[in-house]
Chains A and B, each alone.
Chain A
Amino acid sequence: MILDRVLEGRQVVVCAGAGGVGKTTVAAALGSQLAARGGRVLVLTIDPARRLAGALGLPDHGDDAHEVDLPHNGEADGRLHAAMLDAQLTFDRLVREEAPSEAAAERILANPIYRQVSSAVAGAHEYMAMERLYELHSSGRYDVIVLDTPPSRNALDFLEAPGRLTRFVEGRALRFLLRPGMRAGRLGFSMVERIAGVTFLRDLSELAAGFEGMYDGFARRASDVSALLASERTTFLLVTVPQVEPLAEADFFWRALRERELPFGGMIVNKVHPGYVEGAPSARTRLRAKAKRALRDAGVPAPTAARAAENLVHYQALADRDRENIVALERRIGSGPIVEVPLLDHDVHDLEGVAAVGRHLFDQAGG
């Protein structure tokens, strides 16, 4: 219910968060629920686990969108599609599109440094996710795109990606390198040459020459995608789990969104340990004895009762810890909605599990 309000009228839903919190699962669950409500929905995943990719009907290679066979049965005629990001393919397409000629494009694609830039450079993955989002959004084929973001080591990598890559392509520095006679460039040139070697420098200069003239196209796309992300058409959902480190990262990202005035939709706290008993954690000291006695009264043998009581105390301790962390999160982010998804007894790796997560996401009134 709360998510229905948050997602109303949005064309782009960005799921961000630390690695291992279940971002891809949450993105898929959001996509399937949105499709069940009608509309053409695309989930764009980044490097999904193989099993989950299989469940979404994604092939091992390529980045085409595939329709997901949803078991939903309502009257709504929504469609869910899924696509996987291939940063290399996206970059290659971008070069072909923006290069002044086919020959110029081929020169860039064959450059040994280009290969490294497009696959290995920090931020290239994030930038290409943005670029692919731009491509798919402007195609007009989808009403909503749910974007699963790369597992960044630093949340800011994602937000700063368009600017960073544009600067690289802009290559003011690289153009200096092409004219080593220039006073401003001489020192930089000789230093780079001394450290990196001559062949490296030649490849780099050629790459810079290739990018010459493409800058405007790159900059325009980067600014378009930045505008889309900052607009009312987009919302950012921060996915986390209720443990200290991932919560700290979510908190950091939330601040980063605020500083950049980007639209924050809410926090999704995944894998919350469910509680088994009511009351304050301070009343837990006698829980073990109480549970043991109750189990004995219900006819459970003493050794089993002791083990089950011990396990209950352990489980409840995790639930209490999670609750405490979520309360602290609420205090920090104030009125921003928080949606909880309980830790399920079985791992989520198929459409059935994704659907279960989806139901939990949308059933909540929210806090």
Chain B
Amino acid sequence: MSGKGGVGKSTVAAALGMASAGLGRRTLLVEVASQERMSRLFDQRDPIGYHVTPVYPGLDALSVDPQKALEEYLLGQVKVRAVYERMFENRVFGYFAAAAPGLRELVTLGKIRQLLQAGRHDVVVVDAPATGHGLGFLNVPRTFARIARTGPVHGRAKAIAALLDDAQRTAVVLVTTPEELPVGETLEAIEDLRDEGFPLAGVIANAVYEDIFDAGDADALAAIDARGAASAAAAAARSRLARTADQREQLERVRPCLAELPFLFEARLDVPAVATLGERLEGL
């Protein structure tokens, strides 16, 4: 799942994870930016960190720490712990690991692939970096397969790229809000994903104002001349009508969507609130 920053990508990813778990699929929700949004969303007492942690019935979560994923991968390659430890202490290697472009993204994606192969989960929902960063993220394995022309990195990068390219196994979902700039960025991302041949499943529109007023309401409220609570309600209604009309226009640019999720007026997004969004995603 990707999308412009600020559109509620993490919330929608969590909702999709809950919907998937609700349908009996063993689901893993993966966060890649170490921001611990999932631990806050699911009211975890401690950070989830680099541990597969149950957060909801049928749903586990994991926050991938690229440094730890890299250590884990290298330990797997080198096999002898003493050699591995010496290597990690080695400054040469440290510089290489810190500077090698895209290595962190590669090991993060490698970890996700490995978790799928472990067979404990049927589906992994990845809260990927925002569009812009997002496409770069998906492209990293292909790039690595190209620049490391031989050797273990080449093989591994190729296998990850094959997973991401496979429409049977991978679906890229873009989240947007029905606003001019996020929709514009979403349309650009759709173009780029198609050009690069990634399996785009579609768009989920988030924070959509429900149409609660009709034309008659608008007229009745426009006509009133009042003060106090009545005038406040009329002003709020006018704002709602203006925003809803703008949103309809923007939605047309990305329709048909996989789903359209309602704007939630709850002051805090808690587990039950996110679960109501999840219910709307069960058809996917």
B-binding residues in A (CB < 8 A): 18-21, 47, 49-52, 112-113, 116-117, 120-122, 124, 151, 153-154, 164, 167-168, 171-174, 176-177, 184-185, 187-189, 191-192, 194-200, 203, 241, 244-246, 276-277, 287, 290-291, 293-295, 297-301, 304-305, 307-312, 314-318, 320-321, 345-347, 349
Min CB–CB distance B77 → chain A (angstroms)? 6
Q: A308 near B234 (CB under 8 angstroms)? A: yes
Q: Are A345 and B86 also in contact (CB < 8 A) when A191-B93, A312-B232 are?
A: no
Most buried by B among A20, A21, A47: A20
Interface of B is mostly: helix
Residues of chain B within 8 A of A301, CB atoms compared:
220
Min CB–CB distance B232 → chain A (angstroms)? 4
8 more A-B contacts (CB under 8 A) besides A173-B94, A304-B216?
Answer: A18-B5, A154-B33, A173-B99, A195-B74, A291-B232, A295-B224, A312-B229, A347-B181
Some 27 contacts from A to B, beta carbons below 8 A apart, are: A18-B5, A20-B182, A47-B132, A50-B184, A113-B101, A113-B147, A116-B147, A120-B101, A120-B140, A173-B94, A187-B87, A187-B92, A187-B93, A191-B93, A198-B150, A199-B149, A200-B149, A294-B230, A295-B229, A297-B230, A298-B225, A308-B221, A308-B234, A311-B237, A317-B265, A346-B242, A347-B180
Residues of chain B within 8 A of A287, CB atoms compared:
229
Complex Cα distance A18/B149, Å? 37
A-binding residues in B (CB < 8 A): 4-7, 33, 35, 37, 40, 74, 77-78, 86-87, 90-96, 98-102, 104, 129-130, 132-133, 136, 139-140, 143, 146-154, 179-182, 184-185, 188, 212-213, 216-217, 220-221, 223-226, 228-230, 232-240, 242-243, 246, 250, 265, 267-268
The 10 A-B residue pairs with the shortest CB-CB distance, nearest first, are A20-B6, A19-B5, A197-B151, A188-B92, A173-B95, A20-B5, A294-B230, A121-B101, A276-B232, A314-B265
Contacting A308 at CB < 8 Å: which of B139, B152, B236, B250?
B236
Q: B181 near A52 (CB under 8 angstroms)? A: yes
Interface of A is mostly: helix
**How many A-B residue contacts, CB cutoff 8 Å?**
230
Complex Cα distance A345/B212, Å? 17
Residues of chain B within 8 A of A151, CB atoms compared:
5, 130, 132-133
Q: B92 near A173 (CB under 8 angstroms)? A: yes
CB nearest neighbor in A for B156: A195
Q: A120 near B143 (CB under 8 angstroms)? A: yes
Residues of chain A within 8 A of B130, CB atoms compared:
19-20, 151
Residues of chain A within 8 A of B143, CB atoms compared:
116, 120
Q: A184 near B153 (CB under 8 angstroms)? A: no
Q: Are A276 and B235 also in contact (CB < 8 A) when A197-B148, A311-B240 are?
A: yes
Q: B217 near A172 (CB under 8 angstroms)? A: no
Complex Cα distance A191/B95, Å? 13
